[in-house]
Amino acid sequence: MWAQVVWGTRPVLLIAFGVGLGATGVAVLIGVAAAYLGGAWDSVLNVITDVLLVIPLFPLLIVIGSYLHGAGTGVMIAVITLTGWSYTARQLRAQALSLRGRDFLEAARVRGERGLYVIAVEIIPTMTSLIVASFLTNALYAVLFSSGLQFIGLGDPSVVSWGTMLYWAENNEAFQVAPLWIIAPGLCIVALGAAFALINYAFDEIGNPALRPLLRRAGRPASRRIAGTARRADAQPAS
């Protein structure tokens, strides 16, 4: 059983990183381009994003999966990528809008730089922490959505993954006979999701400027804080 759990890790990680890269890439292109270009481009891209945002994602994946019954890993990556980029695009658009009026972008426009250069060289590098956090979020949801679709029988049952292990365990009533067949892949899904979430929180703390002073103060040794307080007290004039 444990050999199947280890072997089933490969398609899960392929889906996680494939969807994470694909959905984040589409979101960066659409969100940042809509914020920078503005006008009709922003309106059209916003309409497309809003349509996908108001549609519940998992029921939409169930409907699509019912037409693509027995979808393999590649099809699963493509379907989740094409339907799961809208929330990330909205986040990146909001961040890009806050940067659009900055001085370094105005300087790039004055130099006569093209829009593609400004987006790729000036805007996107300043959003690295948010892009990495978005990648980890998309990877986390990809694991949950793909495992859920495979569990209800909308994946390829011949592919060994954690979701298909749960599917076969549920069909063979393994909870009464061998409950470890259900517990082991379920714990792996929870552990991988928790790992992605913790890494996401770590990048949020690193990339959020509002948290940096708190982190620096919390990271200073207690002896240094005490010594600094003593120096400030000695520097005060005696009354």
pLDDT over 70 at 234, yes or no: no
Say if residues 155 and 146 touch (Cβ distance below 8 Å): yes
The confidence band for 20, taking pLDDT boundaries of 50, 70 and 90, is very high
The confidence band for 19, taking pLDDT boundaries of 50, 70 and 90, is very high
Domains in the chain and their CATH numbers? 2-235 (1.10.3720.10)
Name the residue with tokens 């490969």.
10
pTM of the model as a whole: 0.77
Say if residues 27 and 83 touch (Cβ distance below 8 Å): no
The confidence band for 226, taking pLDDT boundaries of 50, 70 and 90, is very low
pLDDT over 70 at 43, yes or no: yes
Which tokens sit at 127?
């959003």
**How many other C-beta atoms are found inside a 10 Å radius of the C-beta of residue 168?**
15
Q: Name every residue whose Cβ is closer than 8 Å to that of residue 37 and which is 6 or more positions away in sequence.
A: 115
pLDDT at 229: 47
Which tokens sit at 99?
């940067």
Radius of gyration, alpha carbons of the chain = 24
Q: What is the phi/psi pair of residue 55, to 5°?
A: -90, 125
pLDDT tens digit sequence for 169-222: 877 777 677 777 788 888 888 888 888 888 877 777 776 666 555 545 555 554
pLDDT at 17: 93
